[in-house]
């Protein structure tokens, strides 16, 4: 199964972002961009790729420990940017030091469980991907997002998310989540991770 670990902004924050993005859809060439859907927006802490069922117990135990070691923290979606002309994103402000430390612990937990994508030398840069483009100019859209400051919210949970593709689009389902800073690290939400679920 294809998994990643993420922090999920609350629905109100995502609605606020969607309203800010609406005018950007009318920019020249924006109809050719692959806009990510509202229900797929998340802050990836670690992409795990394909994970075998036998790796799950150790992975989940490691993620529970990682969540317990880090407190809930205040974040906001803020600023905008682009990775060349490939991807448009909105950044994150606030308790990013805690978020970075959490991402490091999550990556370590994945490595100890024998799963996770190959090491990436790039530093963790918290962001939410908004659109991808194989061609076209994302600069104007990034400039329009440069002064964006969303509402503050509390990141209080760590989520293990399953990714499935259907009809060319990815569909995400929370498989398990752990409260940040909680003793014991027992999953709050668990859904089946059986390959045929």
The predicted structure's pLDDT at residue 169: 73
In-domain check, residue 196 = no
Distance CA 53, CA 1 (A): 8
In-domain check, residue 156 = yes
In-domain check, residue 83 = no
The predicted structure's pLDDT at residue 120: 56
The predicted structure's pLDDT at residue 19: 95
For residues 64 and 100, the answer to whether their CB atoms sit within 8 Å is no
Residues of the chain with pLDDT under 70: 116-122, 135-136, 167-168, 183-197
The predicted structure's pLDDT at residue 185: 47
Listed residue (84, 66, 79) closest to 160, CA to CA: 66
The predicted structure's pLDDT at residue 58: 96
Distance CA 175, CA 184 (A): 18
Give me the DSSP letters along 41-100: --EEEEEEEE--GGGHHHHHHHHHHHHHHS--EEEEEEEEEEETTTEEEEEEEESHHHHH
pLDDT digits (tens, 9 = 90+) for 160-193: 999 887 766 778 899 999 999 975 444 454 443 4
For residues 127 and 43, the answer to whether their CB atoms sit within 8 Å is yes
The predicted structure's pLDDT at residue 145: 94
For residues 126 and 93, the answer to whether their CB atoms sit within 8 Å is no
In-domain check, residue 184 = yes
The predicted structure's pLDDT at residue 189: 45
The predicted structure's pLDDT at residue 190: 45
Angle at CA 35, nearest 5°, toward 29 and 38? Answer: 145
In-domain check, residue 82 = no
Domain holding 8: CATH number? 3.90.1140.10
**Measured between alpha carbons, how far apart are the two ends of the chain, in Å?**
10
Structural domain boundaries enclosing 182: 2-26+37-76+96-127+151-190
Total domains present in the chain: 1
Angle at CA 42, nearest 5°, toward 19 and 51? Answer: 155
In-domain check, residue 143 = no
pLDDT digits (tens, 9 = 90+) for 2-16: 899 999 999 999 999
The predicted structure's pLDDT at residue 6: 96
């Amino acid at each position: 199964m294809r998994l990643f670990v993420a922090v999920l902004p609350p629905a109100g924050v995502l609605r606020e972002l969607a309203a800010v993005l609406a005018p950007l859809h009318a920019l020249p060439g924006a109809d050719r961009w692959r806009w990510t859907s509202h229900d797929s927006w998340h802050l990836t802490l670690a992409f795990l790729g394909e994970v075998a069922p036998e790796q799950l117990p150790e992975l989940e135990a490691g993620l529970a420990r990682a969540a317990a070691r880090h407190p809930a923290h205040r974040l906001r979606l803020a600023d905008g940017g682009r990775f060349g002309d490939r991807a448009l994103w909105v950044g994150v402000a606030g308790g990013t030091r805690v978020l970075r430390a959490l991402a490091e612990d999550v990556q370590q937990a994945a490595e100890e469980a024998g799963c996770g994508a190959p090491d990436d030398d790039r530093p963790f840069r918290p962001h939410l991907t908004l659109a991808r483009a194989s061609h076209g100019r994302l600069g104007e859209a990034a400039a329009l997002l440069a002064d964006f400051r969303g509402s503050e919210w509390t990141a209080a949970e760590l989520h293990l998310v399953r990714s499935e593709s259907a009809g060319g689009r990815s569909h995400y389902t929370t498989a398990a989540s752990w409260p940040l800073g909680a003793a014991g690290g027992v999953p709050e939400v668990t859904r089946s991770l059986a390959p045929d679920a």
